[in-house]
């Protein structure tokens, strides 16, 4: 390798960034595809199995952000967004989803992941656990709010006349035992509680994976 090429590689961080992005891209694509499949299977009264797999996307984004920076994290998120759109198109072809759900899912994913990156970046210099935890919590709140606002809100019925969301607005006891509220509130609360729990649990793999990747980068340098 000539000196000019070595200088270019060093300046662009190609040997460090590209191998790091690729596993992140693959992981994000797998998570999105798996979640789109698992969302079709019920888990209790208020959740689907997709609600268990989907929050791992925040972990992947945070690892990419910590180790390779915001640009790498945004690229990984973009891959996840495009993958989700393709999954929605395939699912629509098999009558497994609707345009409204597809729009809600895509908007929720993109806005939440970008918010995660922004919050993480603002807190980057604080204790190692604070950026991923705060970013995941804020991102999950936005994700849940956007998803259920678009997917089941009765106020958006004029924009999606063919989508029947009356089932989601039936009034039931919150999570089966609380005060009476529209069914979608129980779904949203259950969904967010899973994301919150995983945001805390994800600190363990975040610490381990980031530590290993940073050590490898230090050895390369």
Q: What local confidence, expressed as pLDDT, does residue 89 receive?
A: 78
Q: What local confidence, expressed as pLDDT, does residue 94 receive?
A: 60
What are the structural domains, with CATH classification, of the chain?
3-154+163-220 (1.10.1760)
Sign of CA dihedral 196, 198, 47, 162: positive
Q: Sorting pLDDT into bands at 50, 70 and 90, what band is 150?
A: confident
Q: What local confidence, expressed as pLDDT, does residue 11 receive?
A: 41
Angle between helices 130-152 and 183-201 in degrees, nearest 10: 160
Q: What local confidence, expressed as pLDDT, does residue 103 receive?
A: 86
Share of the chain above pLDDT 70, in %: 83
3-state SS assignment for residue 47: strand
Picking from 70, 74, 79, 72, the residue whose alpha carbon sits closest to that of residue 14 is 72
Here the tokens at position 73 are 């994290």
Q: Is it the case that residue 213 has pLDDT exceeding 50?
A: yes
Q: What is the largest CA-CA distance in the chain?
A: 71
Q: Residue 162 carries which DSSP code?
A: T
Q: CB–CB of 110/81 below 8 Å? A: yes
**Stretch 142-152: mean pLDDT, rounded?**
91
Q: What local confidence, expressed as pLDDT, does residue 152 receive?
A: 83
Q: Sorting pLDDT into bands at 50, 70 and 90, what band is 96?
A: low
Picking from 9, 48, 86, the residue whose alpha carbon sits closest to that of residue 190 is 48
Q: What are phi and psi of 100, to 5 degrees?
A: -65, -45
pLDDT digits (tens, 9 = 90+) for 25-77: 999 999 999 998 898 899 988 999 999 999 999 999 999 999 999 999 999 99
């Amino acid at each position: 390798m000539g000196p000019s090429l070595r200088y270019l590689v060093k300046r662009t961080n190609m040997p460090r960034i590209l191998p790091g992005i690729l596993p992140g891209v693959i992981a994000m694509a797998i998570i999105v595809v798996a979640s789109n499949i698992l969302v079709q299977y019920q888990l209790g009264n208020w959740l689907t199995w997709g609600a268990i797999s989907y929050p791992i996307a925040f972990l992947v984004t945070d690892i990419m952000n910590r180790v390779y920076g915001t640009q790498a994290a945004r690229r990984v998120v973009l891959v996840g967004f495009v993958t989700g759109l393709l999954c929605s198109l395939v699912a629509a072809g098999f009558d497994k989803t609707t345009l409204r759900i597809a729009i809600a899912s895509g908007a929720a994913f993109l806005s939440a992941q970008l918010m995660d990156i922004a919050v993480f970046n603002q807190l980057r210099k604080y204790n190692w656990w604070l950026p991923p935890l705060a970013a995941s919590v804020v991102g999950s709140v936005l994700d849940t709010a956007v998803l259920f606002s678009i997917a089941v809100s009765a106020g958006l019925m004029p924009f999606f006349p063919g989508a029947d969301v009356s089932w989601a607005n039936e009034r039931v006891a919150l999570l089966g035992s609380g005060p009476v509220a529209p069914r979608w509130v129980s779904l949203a609360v259950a969904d967010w509680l899973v994301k919150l729990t995983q945001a805390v649990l994800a600190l363990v793999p975040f610490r381990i994976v980031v530590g290993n990747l940073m050590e490898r980068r230090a050895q390369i340098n």
